[in-house]
Structure 1
């Protein structure tokens, strides 16, 4: 059974900037997305945000695309923030475990400056990589219970 799919894999070399969409990414066990500025040996190795959440932020003047919220994985068809901590997702060759739901928005958040609000603190989630490998656009997300 699949519960959603990956729209985009997004990467940046530095923190505090939008991430650039890619068709695929290599995820390293206990580290995160290879060559991404947010990867490391900590609990927020990979960030995920649904396209449905991104679309909530749009209006007639502002359009967003995958990576604009600095998320590593943009998903579709799954309500990420409804899953409890410890939930595991099998995506492509990888196994991820949810370690945090939401986060405090930092003062320099460009989205918050533009719109007065940012969806990432409420609907974005973070995970650590339990099993590394390749994740590609259109890979399915399988929720393990």
Structure 2
């Protein structure tokens, strides 16, 4: 395994709350992120990983955006587009497998109309959980 980065922030979606809720620790199972409103929905897309680089792209274009607003569960300091589909990463106690690049959704226009086009290829990647476990703020990320 090779160390490639670390976790910057962690988030879950909670029913009835528009913004993602920051967590110091999340627990993932093969059904997704426990406590997240999308838990056990689409297991191949159960975890969204985004890079701080995506936020830098937005702020460099004078778009005001806070961590979590791109819908991520895990914000990292490494560009997840460097992962090939099918790549597995060890993060905290868990193993995740990259399943697809994140598709853009209309909710990004609520932040700024320019955001979907700007982040077309830089919003993040979806992953499924191969091995359950806890992931903490500052957990190391290793490619398997």
TM-score by length of 1: 0.85
Question: How far apart, CA to CA, are the structure 1 residues paired with 2:53 and 2:141?
Answer: 15
1:7 aligns with 2:8: yes
Structure 2: 5+ residue stretches without partners: none
TM-superposed CA distance for 1:58, in Å, is 1.1
- Seen in structure 2, the aligned counterparts of structure 1 residues 69 and 8 have a Cα distance that, compared at 3 Å, is same
- Seen in structure 2, the aligned counterparts of structure 1 residues 60 and 83 have a Cα distance that, compared at 3 Å, is closer
- Seen in structure 2, the aligned counterparts of structure 1 residues 106 and 79 have a Cα distance that, compared at 3 Å, is closer
- Seen in structure 2, the aligned counterparts of structure 1 residues 61 and 101 have a Cα distance that, compared at 3 Å, is closer
Structure-to-structure mapping, 1:1-145, within 5 angstroms: 1-14=2-15, 17-28=18-29, 30-40=30-40, 41-59=42-60, 62-76=63-77, 78-103=78-103, 105-107=104-106, 109=107, 111-113=108-110, 114-118=112-116, 121-123=120-122, 124-144=124-144
Tell me the number of residue pairs that the alignment of Structure 1 and Structure 2 aligns.
139
TM-superposed CA distance for 1:59, in Å, is 4.5
Runs (4+) of structure 1 exceeding 6 A deviation are none
What per-residue deviation string (whole Å, max 9, x for no partner) do you get for residues 108-143 of structure 1?
x1x324242235542210000011111000001001
- Seen in structure 2, the aligned counterparts of structure 1 residues 126 and 92 have a Cα distance that, compared at 3 Å, is same
Question: How far apart, CA to CA, are the structure 2 residues paired with 1:112 and 1:16?
Answer: 18
TM-score by length of 2: 0.86
